[in-house]
A and B are shown apart, each in its own frame.
Chain A
Amino acid sequence: MSVPVEAYVIVAAILFFIGVVGVIARRNPLIQLMSIELLFNSANLALTTFARSWANNDGHIFAFLVITVAAAEAAIGLAIVVIVFRKTTFVDVDEVATLKG
């Protein structure tokens, strides 16, 4: 590898924490879901980097599973957004507090 492993891992960490800021700071549920996709992708980048580092493709298998879980999560999250939006035309996830204890 001409590029060191550390560089890939640091890029993955930067992407991960950009996604973390998006999940915490944004209040639009769609943008929050997209930030969660960023988190999944940065984890996949780290997994693929370490798979290359060890020349062992178990990391690829794991990244494949992560992609599957991300697809399921996006589908269910968007379904929840749709049904909540049907009842109340919210623009802010903080307004959806029906289940708050």
Chain B
Amino acid sequence: MIAFVLLSLAMIASALFTVTAKKPVYSVVGLLANFIALAITYLTLHAEFLAVMQIVVYSGAILILFVFVIALLSAGTKPFEPGPNRMPRALVPAVIFALIGFAAIVVTIGRSVFSPAPIAGATGEADVFGSVANFGTALFTRNLLPFEITAFVLMVAIIGVVLLAGDETPAARPPKRLAREPINPPREPIAR
């Protein structure tokens, strides 16, 4: 219970810092703290593989991508300033909307009955609920098609990123020197 309270406070505080930070780099730091606290929370929920994935994929890959983009945008002629933030103007409707949604969730939870199922074994033991073996068995037997679709989604993302942010567009390139040869050189007869 103490661990849960501490982790919750850490997650909420770091999320607030992420949203209110002046510069994107500070937001990245807040988000890193949030992800690490969330990974530990996953461990308290018997989700070992997800905890590791959270560190590796989010903290290791996505946040590094953010840092790279911030560095890339800052490397131009003028620094990437946060600029005039319209946060005070849009803040009031956003907070009202969030509070309404949060109240709806709280009311729904109040009407629900949760009876957690008991689990034999603690976090970290082999072959209990949430262990890596358990997760892998579920992923590669019953959920093989979603796993393959995951690969497809990532491939589409890679192709999209390369098309969007890859090299400059063909129109911007200097035109190539025309080749001396005719386009369709006469072919040698194919020996039969």
Contacts and interface: CB of A to CB of B under 8 A. Distances in A.
Contact of B157 (A17, A48, A72): A72
A17 B106 CA distance: 12
Given A31-B27, A53-B117, A68-B150, A45 B91 contact: no
B116 A52 contact: yes
A2 interface: yes
Nearest to B83: A91
A83 interface: yes
Interface string A55-96: 101101101110111111111101111110100010110100
Interface in B9-44: 11-12, 15-16, 18-19, 21, 24, 27-28, 31, 34-35, 38, 41-42, 44
27 contacts: A5-B116, A8-B45, A11-B8, A17-B99, A18-B12, A18-B98, A19-B15, A30-B66, A34-B66, A35-B18, A44-B38, A49-B45, A51-B130, A52-B47, A52-B129, A57-B130, A57-B134, A57-B138, A60-B47, A60-B138, A61-B138, A61-B143, A64-B53, A67-B50, A68-B153, A68-B154, A91-B80
Interface of A: 1-11, 13-22, 24-28, 30-31, 33-35, 37-38, 41, 44-45, 48-49, 51-55, 57-58, 60-61, 63-65, 67-76, 78-83, 85, 89, 91-92, 94
Interface of B: 1, 4, 8, 11-12, 15-16, 18-19, 21, 24, 27-28, 31, 34-35, 38, 41-42, 44-47, 49-50, 53-54, 57-58, 61-62, 65-66, 69-70, 72-73, 76, 78, 80-87, 90-91, 93-95, 97-99, 101-102, 105-106, 109, 114-119, 129-130, 134-135, 138-139, 143, 146, 149-150, 153-154, 156-158, 160-161, 164-165
